[in-house]
Amino acid sequence: MSTPVERLPAGGAPAPVTRDRGRFSLRGKPELALIPLVFVVVVAAWEYGIRLFEVPAYILPPPSDIMSSLVEQYQSPRYWTHIRVTGQEVLAGFALGCALAFLIGVAVAQVRLLEKTLYPYVVAFQTVPKIALAPLFVIWFGFGLTSKVVMTALVCFFPMIVNVIEGLRAADQNQVDMLRSLGASRVQIFRKVQVPGALPFIFAGLDIGIVFAVIGAVVGEFVGAQAGLGYLLLQSIYDFDTAGLFGALVTLSLMGLIGHFIVRFLQRRFAFWSDTARLVAA
């Protein structure tokens, strides 16, 4: 597991740009060479700029320090424990938030009265800065895993439920009529038209959700935790270990990236007919 993670920072960071452009920049395009070039130039300028202006390492460490700090971190078993803790929070919160959003979204989209009653609340709650609730969750659920999972689930929940509802609403009325004309039941219409039709939206929700999940877990750990990468971030501040802080930052970004690519992979597999997800997520 440690090998691919170690190899990723150099080649992995610029990758999403190419991927997001997707079909437009296939092979043989100059940007494929320019993207890594930009990375190399920025890193080099950073490295030598710091030496040139003698910037203290606790303010901004050079990339080489961050790299060696990362290598050190990945060799320490305790570090992997922190990665596992945050990973668990992210995955559990993401799964919980998205599953709840799907179930409630389905109910809201199916029952007109429920939609009319609840949708304004969904929209209103979206504007609440949910991250500000993190301290409350520590009071309610303690310093352990639960408060972070709840925090993570909450931040995933809203982008997901909005996409689920919009996706189910967006069902093509002609397709629904086509099924109805055959005598299809509501369940059949739901399963054969509404859910597949909503998949591009659902994947857009998952894509936003997985990135938000990392934020939720880290903020949860900031407020009060005994382990995890967010906890480690705070620790490195107290130790003036800025290189360590950047290392944790890289690891967290990688988590989000890996999740993002998994969602994209699944989306291309199961919602291959539509580019909607890409547009909404962007």
Report the interface residues with other proteins, using CB under 8 A: 172, 174-175, 177-184, 188, 192-193, 196, 199, 271-274
Pick 23 or 78: Cβ nearer other proteins: 23
Q: How far apart are CA 249 and CA 232, in angstroms?
A: 10
Whose CA is closest to 218, among 125, 151, 127, 126? 151
First to last CA, the chain: 30
The least CB distance from residue 237 to other proteins, in Å, is 49
The least CB distance from residue 271 to other proteins, in Å, is 8
* Burial letters 52-89, b for 16+ CB under 10 A, else e: eeeeeeeebbbbebbbebbeebbeeeebeebbebbbeb
Task: Compute, in degrees rounded to 10, the torsion defined by CA atoms 143, 145, 134, 91.
Answer: 160
Helix residue ranges, H only, 54-144: 63-75, 77-110, 112-126, 134-141
The least CB distance from residue 268 to other proteins, in Å, is 13
Whose CA is closest to 225, among 145, 137, 143, 142? 143
Pick 88 or 175: Cβ nearer other proteins: 175
The least CB distance from residue 185 to other proteins, in Å, is 8
Q: Which residues contact 230 (CB under 8 A, 6 or more apart)?
A: 86, 217, 218, 219, 220, 221, 222
The least CB distance from residue 61 to other proteins, in Å, is 49
Pick 235 or 274: Cβ nearer other proteins: 274
The least CB distance from residue 250 to other proteins, in Å, is 38
The least CB distance from residue 180 to other proteins, in Å, is 5
- Contact 220/77 with Cβ under 8 angstroms? no
The least CB distance from residue 215 to other proteins, in Å, is 32
What is the number of residues in the chain? 282
Q: How many CA atoms lie within 13 A of 55 on its CB side?
A: 16
Q: What are residue 271's phi and psi, to 5 degrees?
A: -130, 45
Q: How far apart are CA 7 and CA 132, in angstroms?
A: 36
